[in-house]
């Protein structure tokens, strides 16, 4: 007689209950569709709205300066969109062509000569001209480097943009070589702080200015893509001098005295 207890029969395939993933409710699905629709339409709508607003703003002010006999909107049954923008671009090209010859340069020098003798106007004109020359110059390095610095204290990192090397009295009074770093605020990057940071304390990041601005404006939501490159400390990206990873403690100077 077999005293062993009988084994329980194995469950059949159709008897095995496989837990199903919880189904989303109808309201949850609607919420997901709503968010997806906003993410698709909001950027496109805002871009189109701002573009049309800028074009209409220029058209409204430039087209009014055209004499009626030369204004095509007076003869056509519809208004020409972007006519003011086209005329503005042609006007700027014409001014640039005129200032490239001898008489144009002479006129510009005479205008600057008189503006330089007006107490308040000369400061406004000089500052505005210097900003535009710095931003629009082909050889300028302003706002072309994204950096990481420790601010407002050690251990806290912020994104900044190099606006150029420090010169003049500020550099003369500092013992180390410093650079001008513009520290923008979030989400409005047009305001911020100007910092004079020692070059050796600046980490140059391998990201474009557009990617850095997106990171600042989005408050860290939009992160730049990983490129697998380490940050470069103290030198501009692409150089082989002084490469120090941000989180690599092995590159820090040894505190023990040399033998």
End-to-end Cα separation, the chain, in angstroms = 87
CA distances from 79 to 56, 59, 71, 76, 82 (A): 11, 10, 10, 7, 9
In this predicted structure, what is the pLDDT of residue 73?
78
pTM tops 0.75, yes or no: no
Q: Are 159 and 148 a contacting pair, CB within 8 Å?
A: yes
Distance separating alpha carbons of residues 223 and 113, to the nearest angstrom = 48
Helix axes 119-136, 102-115, angle to 10 degrees: 130
Count of H-run helices and E-run strands, the chain: 6, 6
SS3 at position 179? strand
SS3 at position 244? coil
DSSP letter at 177 equals: -
DSSP letter at 2 equals: -
In this predicted structure, what is the pLDDT of residue 229?
65
In this predicted structure, what is the pLDDT of residue 148?
94
Please give the structure tokens belonging to residue 229: 């490159």
In this predicted structure, what is the pLDDT of residue 135?
65
Taking only the tens place, the pLDDT of each residue in 120-136 is: 888 888 888 877 776 66
In this predicted structure, what is the pLDDT of residue 257?
41
Cite the beta strand spans of the chain per DSSP E.
146-150, 157-165, 178-184, 192-198, 203-204, 232-233
Please give the structure tokens belonging to residue 200: 């050796």
Antiparallel, parallel or unpaired: β 203-204 and 232-233:
antiparallel
Distance separating alpha carbons of residues 66 and 48, to the nearest angstrom = 27
Distance separating alpha carbons of residues 122 and 113, to the nearest angstrom = 10
| Stretches in the chain below the pLDDT threshold 70 | 1-23, 134-142, 228-232, 235-259
CA distances from 134 to 131, 159, 204 (A): 5, 21, 21
């Amino acid at each position: 007689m077999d005293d062993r207890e009988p084994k329980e029969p194995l469950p059949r395939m159709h008897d095995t209950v496989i837990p199903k993933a919880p189904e989303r409710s109808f309201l949850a699905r609607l919420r997901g569709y709503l968010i997806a629709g906003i993410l698709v339409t909001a950027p496109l709508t805002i871009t189109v709205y701002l573009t049309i607003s800028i074009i209409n703003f220029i058209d409204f002010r430039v087209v009014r300066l055209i004499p009626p006999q030369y204004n095509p909107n007076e003869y056509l049954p519809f208004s020409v969109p972007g006519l003011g923008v086209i005329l503005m671009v042609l006007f700027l090209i014409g001014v640039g062509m005129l200032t490239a010859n001898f008489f144009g340069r002479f006129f510009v020098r005479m205008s600057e000569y008189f503006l330089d003798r007006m107490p308040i106007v000369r400061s406004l004109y000089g500052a505005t001209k210097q900003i535009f020359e710095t931003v629009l110059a082909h050889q300028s390095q302003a706002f072309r480097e994204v950096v990481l610095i420790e601010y407002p204290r050690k251990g806290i990192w912020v994104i900044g943009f190099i606006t150029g090397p420090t010169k003049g009295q500020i550099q003369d009074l500092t013992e180390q070589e410093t650079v001008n770093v513009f520290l923008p605020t979030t989400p409005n990057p047009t305001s911020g702080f100007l910092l004079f940071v020692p070059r050796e304390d600046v980490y140059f990041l391998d990201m474009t200015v557009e990617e850095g601005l997106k990171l600042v404006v989005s408050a860290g939501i939009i992160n730049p893509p990983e490129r697998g490159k380490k940050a470069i400390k103290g030198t501009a990206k692409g150089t082989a001098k002084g490469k120090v990873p941000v989180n690599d403690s092995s590159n820090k100077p040894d505190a023990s005295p040399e033998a």
